[in-house]
Amino acid sequence: MRSILNVLHALGLTMVVFSLTLLFPYFFSRLFEDGADQSFLTSFMLASGSGLLLWLLTYPFRRELRPRDGLLLVFLVWTVFPLLAALPLMLEASHVGVKLSFTHAYYEAMSGLTTTGASVLPDVAKLPESLNLWRHTLVWFGGMGILVLAVAILPMLGVGGHQVMRGEIPGPMKEEKLTPRIAGTAKVLYAIYFSASVLCLIAYRLVGLGWFDAWCHTASTMGLGGFSTYSGGFMDINSPAAEMVAMVFMLFAGINFATHFKVIRNRDLSIYRFCPETIPFLRLVLASGVLISLYLFFSNEYSNLLEAFRFGMFNTISVATTTGFANVDYLQWPMFLPILMLFLGACATSSGSTGGGIKMIRLILVIKQIRTEIRHILHPHAVFPVRLGARIIDQGVIMSIMVFMLVYALTLMALSAVMLLSGAEPTTAFSAVFASLNNIGPGLGGVGPMGNYSVLSDFQIWLCTLAMLIGRLELFTVLVIFTPGFWRR
C-alpha cells in the first residue's frame, strides 16, 4: 500500500505540471477572443487542484521510485492525462454546437497524447482555434513523452526487447539511478525535438501556411500524430510544397532521436549509416513509396508521373511513419495498396522515434532469427549467433522479442474478435483495431482517411482507446499491471 501511495504522490506532481499546459491555449483564447478561455481556465483549476490535493495527501509516503513503481506510474500517467486533457473538449464543444460525450472527448484526448491522430470530431473547422490548438499541442507533448518512454524508461526495464537499443541512449548517467538518467536523457531529446520543431514551423510558414496552421501541423508532423486544422487535412491545404516539408520532417521524426543526438554531437552524418535501424527504415519507406507511385502511374490511376509520385510518396510516408496525414482518398486506389501501407505503419519506424508500431529493430531481429533457425536445420551442430552490426545479441533478448511479437499478434486477434462481435463491419473492425494498436490513425472502410471514428459505437470507441493505450505503451507495460505477481510484495 505504501508503494502505491508513493506512486500516487508522484502522479499528483505530474498532474500539476501537466495542468500548466492548459494555460497555453487559455492565453491564446484570451488574446484572440475566441470565447473558449473560461473552459480552459476551469479545466486548469480542476486539473491542478486535483493534482495538488493528491500530492499533499500522499506527501508523507514519498520515497524514491523503484522500476516496478515506474511501470505503474507510466500506466497511470497515460490513463489520467487524457482525462485531464478531455476537460476543455467537453466543456467547450457544447458551447459551439458540437456534441461530444465523455467517451468521445476521452478518445480524442487519448488519440492526441498517444500521437495516433484518429478523430471522432465530424468537423474540426467548427471548433474555436484555441481548442484546435489544444488538440495539436497534445500531440506535440505526447511526442515528447514517447521519446522518454521509448529511449529512457522501456530499455531500462527491458520491455519487449527495447534493451537492444540501450547502447543508443545518450547522456552521461547510463549506470546511475533512474531519475537523473531520465532527466539527463530527456534534456538532450527535448532539445533536439524542440529545435526540429522550430525548423519545421519555419518551413511550413515559408511555404505559405499561416502561423497558426504552421504550428498545428508542426505539432502533428513532429509528433507523427496526423491531426489537422482542416477536416480534409492536406487535401484541403492542397500545397505540394507543404507536403514536401511534411515528408522531410515525418522521416526525421521516424528515426531514433538518440541517433540524431549522436550525429549532432559528433557532427558526422555517416553515423546514420551505421545505425542498425535508420538505413533499413529509409530504404523500406522510400522504396515502398517509389513502387506504389510507379504502380499508380502504370495502372493509369494517374496520367501524370509527377502527380503519381506526389500522392504515392506522401501517403506512403505518412502511413508508414504512423502519422496519418492524407492528401487524397487512397481507399480509391487498388485495395492492396492501402493494406500494404498499413502493414508498413506496423513495423517501419525506429525505436526511440515518436512513431508507433512494433518498430524496425524488432522486425530486423526476427528476420535474423528466422535465418538462423534455417541455418540450424541445415547445420545442426554449428553455432550461429544473431548479430546486429558487430554486436552479438543475447538469446534472452531474442526470446523477449519473440514473446512480444506473439503477444502483439494475440492482442490484435483478441481485440479484432471483440470488435467483430460488437457488430462492426469486418474491414472497419480489423483496420480500426490495427490502426489503433499501431497508433497509425486512419484505417480502412468507415475509418479511412476521409472517414471518421465517430461511426463506431461507444463500446467500439472504448475498445479502440484501449488499443491505442496498449500499443503506445508497448503491450507489456499495460499487461503486467494486471498480473497478480505485480501486486505482490
Residue list, annotated binding site for K(+):
115-116, 224-225, 322-323, 439
Q: Which residues of 317-352 are buried (b: 16+ CB within 10 A; e: fewer)?
A: bbbbbbbbbbbbebbebeeebbebbbbbbbbbbbbb
Residue 179 belongs to what H/E stretch?
helix 178-206
What letter would DSSP give residue 167? G
Q: Which amino acid is at 451?
A: G
Of 444, 475, 272, the closest CA to residue 362 belongs to 475
H helical segments located in 223-335: 234-237, 240-253, 257-266, 271-274, 278-298, 305-320
Distance spanning both ends of the chain, measured CA to CA = 10
Could you tell me which residues are annotated as the binding site?
115-116, 224-225, 322-323, 439
Return the closest-CA partner of residue 169 out of 194, 190, 189, 196: 189
CA distance 301 to 486: 54
Element spanning 392, H or E: strand 391-392
Q: Tell me the three-class secondary structure of 405-434, residue by residue.
A: HHHHHHHHHHHHHHHHHCCCCHHHHHHHHH
Q: Which residues contact 192 (CB under 8 A, 6 or more apart)?
A: 257, 260, 261, 264
